[in-house]
Amino acid sequence: MTNAGAPVWLALVFSVLIGALYAVQSRVNGELGHQIGDGFTAAVISFGSGLVILSLGLIVFRRGRRGLQLVARGVKAKRLSWWHLLGGLAGALFVLSQGLVAAPLGIALFTVAVVAGQTVSGVLMDRFGIGPGGRRKLHASKIVGAGLALVAVAFTVSGELRGSDALWLLALPLIAGIGQGWQQAVNGQVRVTAQSALTATFLNFLSGTIALVLAALVHGLLVGFALDLPGNPWLYTGGLIGCIFIAGAALVVRTTGVLMLGLCIVAGQLVCALALDLLAPTQGHPLGLTTIVGTALALVAVVIAAVRWRRPGRAHAR
């Protein structure tokens, strides 16, 4: 059972849905960056709109404001390190990578690159106890599941990149994926201290927005600012989507652990990316057999990693 009394399986299902939102946001921000012609501006719009939504949430909900006080006390008392407040930097890199390379790579290929980074990062975060649940023992099932997830990624990428010159583009989402595991871990720590997912998500968006605005200013001064914005309203929903999945991840990571959260997010991302490429493929990136097989392997990896979630007899212990 989770700390709030909800079953573990429900936290895992919710984590899969979080992963689906990652894929949807990648499509939205990728298309926004493509239409604007500037991934930096697209990233600022996405993160900045999320920050506005969360700021309104803090005005409405007293618990969120109280969480800011608890976090400040936690940092002052050294129960929380200052770098725990910088999870938004990893989120900023992820959103920036969406705006810069999601469209040219295609959602499926972009997603498997992120997945590779998330899988490796999840193992490391749990191994060294970065998340709020502390250090977690890596049972053989989790190691095999993580390994199979990497195999799924390698298989998918090998098929998608055959004859392509876009290999170098994978570096940015791969690094962003590694940062995602760290972001989920530190945001979970902040959420525990603040006793509010709203507070943790607000601080995440605050640091990320500051970083992206600075990066966009430097980029704009060097190459010029993109001022021609598209009129399609759905292209501006990336910030709202980000608020939902960042808060959700901070809420469940203490129950699932970083590795299991990452693997469930992997499943949600791949399935949703598969559906998006099937129902509304991006131009020049038709759905291939390797993507379908890779998605199936990733789902099997999640099931394997979850098999020994609780030791035999644990459910009856008091």
Tell me the pLDDT tens digit for each residue of 1-13: 444 456 788 888 8
Query: Closest by alpha carbon to 160, among 78, 282, 251, 245?
Result: 282
Q: Tens digits of per-residue pLDDT, 242-257?
A: 888 888 887 887 788 7
Residue pair 255/3 in contact (Cβ under 8 Å)? The answer is: yes
Winning range, highest mean pLDDT, from 38-42, 152-156, 176-180? 38-42
Q: Which pair of structure tokens corresponds to residue 140?
A: 């053989």
Percentage of the chain exceeding pLDDT 90: 29
Exposed, middle or buried by CB within 10 Å (0-12, 13-18, 19+), for 280? exposed
Distances in Å between the Cα of 318 and the Cα atoms of 1, 196, 315 are 12, 28, 8
The answer, yes or no, to whether residue 312 has pLDDT greater than 50, is no
Would you call 220 helix, strand, or coil by DSSP?
helix
Tell me the pTM.
Answer: 0.77
Q: Which residues contact 200 (CB under 8 A, 6 or more apart)?
A: 67, 187, 188, 190, 191, 194, 246, 247, 250
Please state, in angstroms and rounded to a whole number, the distance separating the CA atoms of residues 247 and 154: 30
Q: How confident is the model at residue 282 (pLDDT cuts 50, 70, 90)?
A: low
pLDDT at 212: 95
Q: Which residues contact 188 (CB under 8 A, 6 or more apart)?
A: 131, 132, 133, 200, 249, 250, 253, 254, 258
Residue pair 125/90 in contact (Cβ under 8 Å)? The answer is: no
The answer, yes or no, to whether residue 317 has pLDDT greater than 50, is no
Of residues 288 and 9, more confidence is placed in: 9
pLDDT at 316: 44
> Using CA of residue 177, residue 179, residue 185, residue 188, what is the dihedral sign?
negative
- Measured in degrees and rounded to the nearest 5, phi and psi for residue 312 equal -55, 130
Q: Which pair of structure tokens corresponds to residue 75?
A: 């940092």
Residue 47 amino acid letter: F
Please state, in angstroms and rounded to a whole number, the distance separating the CA atoms of residues 166 and 215: 24
Residue with tokens 């919710």: 14
Q: How confident is the model at residue 186 (pLDDT cuts 50, 70, 90)?
A: confident
Residue pair 14/247 in contact (Cβ under 8 Å)? The answer is: no
- Mean per-residue pLDDT, 58-85: 92
The answer, yes or no, to whether residue 289 has pLDDT greater than 90, is no
Q: How confident is the model at residue 129 (pLDDT cuts 50, 70, 90)?
A: low
pLDDT at 221: 93
Residue pair 87/81 in contact (Cβ under 8 Å)? The answer is: no
What DSSP state is assigned to residue 234? G
pLDDT at 135: 65
Residue pair 43/98 in contact (Cβ under 8 Å)? The answer is: yes
